[in-house]
């Protein structure tokens, strides 16, 4: 979760993730970032470079009102709404809630990756380190729930 919805907060959170994963692994996973034109992303281009000024990644901004520019992200937004319906405030969510939502959504088999889950793909390509460092774990299909009951009380 972010402390605030600002460009500084977004960049600080990505820097925290980069520090956990290390430069090489971070830029392998986040080598390309596609975001919208919200003010919270206006300095995201700074994350393209490491501390030595070497460009390691790329940031692209979606065109306004063109959800197809980031279609897979839009699908995840739709899944989030199964858990947190539109109109329900997200202000009371905490880090563990965000992790629970992430775990649920990324435990769903996806046609776009040959019916694997995003977790299975991440594990296969990058190994256990990523999941461990980000405190993520796959949920077994028979325990997977996509509604508000997964959030901590």
* 49-77 pLDDT per residue, tens: 888 888 889 999 888 777 677 766 778 88
- Report CA 109 to chain centroid distance, whole Å: 17
pLDDT digits (tens, 9 = 90+) for 3-39: 889 999 999 999 999 999 998 899 999 999 988 888 9
- Mean pLDDT, rounded, of the chain: 89
Cβ neighbours for 37, distance < 8 A, ≥ 6 positions apart: 61, 62, 64
- Report CA 39 to chain centroid distance, whole Å: 18
The model's pTM = 0.81
Mean pLDDT computed over 139-146: 93
Long-range contacts (CB closer than 8 Å, 24 or more residues apart) made by 62-67: 62/34, 62/35, 62/36, 62/37, 64/36, 64/37
Q: What whole-number distance in Å separates Cα of residue 76 and Cα of residue 15? A: 23
């Amino acid at each position: 979760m972010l402390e605030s919805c600002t460009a500084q907060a977004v960049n600080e959170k990505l820097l925290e993730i980069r520090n956990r994963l290390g430069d090489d692994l971070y830029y392998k996973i986040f080598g390309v970032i596609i975001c919208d034109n919200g003010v919270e992303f206006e300095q995201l281009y700074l994350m393209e470079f490491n501390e030595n000024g070497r460009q390691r990644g790329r940031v692209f901004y979606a065109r306004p009102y063109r959800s197809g520019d980031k279609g897979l992200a839009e699908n995840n937004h739709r899944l989030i709404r199964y858990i947190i319906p539109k109109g329900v405030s997200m202000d009371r969510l905490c880090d563990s809630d965000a992790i629970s939502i992430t775990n649920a959504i990324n435990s769903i088999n996806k046609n776009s990756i040959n019916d694997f889950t995003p977790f299975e793909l991440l594990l296969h390509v990058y190994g256990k380190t990523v999941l461990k460092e980000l405190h993520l774990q796959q949920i077994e299909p028979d325990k997977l729930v996509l509604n508000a009951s997964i959030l901590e009380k």
